[in-house]
Amino acid sequence: MKWDSRGGRPPALLHQAIPSLSVTEWALAAGYDGVVVDLQHGEVGLEAACTMLRAAPRDSAYSYARVGSLDPAPILRLLDSGARGIIAPTIESGEQARMLVEATKYPGVGNRSLGPSRPALYKGESYTEAGNRAVSTIAQIETVAGLKNAEEIVTTPGLDSIYIGPADLAVSFGLPGRGDWEDGPVREAIVHLAALTREHGVTLGIYSGSGTYAADLLDRELVDYVGLGIDLVFLSRAAQESIKTLRGTE
């Protein structure tokens, strides 16, 4: 991740599963530092994602997209539309991390093709060097296999950040598929990855559904940024709460 936190405040990003420009705008207006446009889960397709990214300011440091695979074609389209970070799920080896770097970085670091579709996206004397500095290459670790190979993933040249998927990691350990673990192997994995990423100068993020839990991780300096909540889940909770209040049900 490329640091641009406001006043030293760790960034918080909203996961977007709903294909809507309005959600992007409202998230930023509410105080989120950015969004994760989610092409892995939810209903967001490539065309919609590229349009949603344009709802964020061109220089927004945290306009991220999570892809469903390491296919370089959609990654290229997302980057050219303004994505400042690509999160690739289920990275389990250094080779997969290298493939991600190849798809997200211009030559000199990776193999990204030069063909921007959004004007003045990167500012600098060298467009490719500026682009490599501006774009965060983020490997999501969410399995026991990825955790075992974490050091070779973290030390991949050109990789900027690790993002923890706690629910899938829990399932990989044979635990219930939920996040926000206070103890057990998922918590131990967070502590381990925190030490490993700091040792190698790579940032660490995690998804959380709870502001309280996320704040505690940040206060303990276990992570550098958080994905906080999902638009679809927020909408579901608000709808359930409203109808319960109307009908007087528990």
The catalytic position among 15, 41, 192, 200 is 41
Q: Where does residue 31 rank: exposed (0-12), middle (13-18), buried (19+ CB within 10 A)? A: exposed
Q: How far is it, in rounded angstroms, from Cα 131 to Cα 231?
A: 29
Catalytic: 200? no
**Tokens 């709808």 -> residue:** 239
Collapsed DSSP state (helix, strand, coil) of residue 130: helix
Q: How far is it, in rounded angstroms, from Cα 240 to Cα 238?
A: 5
Paired strand residues for 205: 163, 225
- Are the C-beta atoms of 104 and 84 separated by less than 8 Å? no
Paired strand residues for 141: 164
The DSSP result for 71-116, as a single string, is: -HHHHHHHHHTT-SEEEES---SHHHHHHHHHHHS-TTTS------
Report the catalytic residues: 41
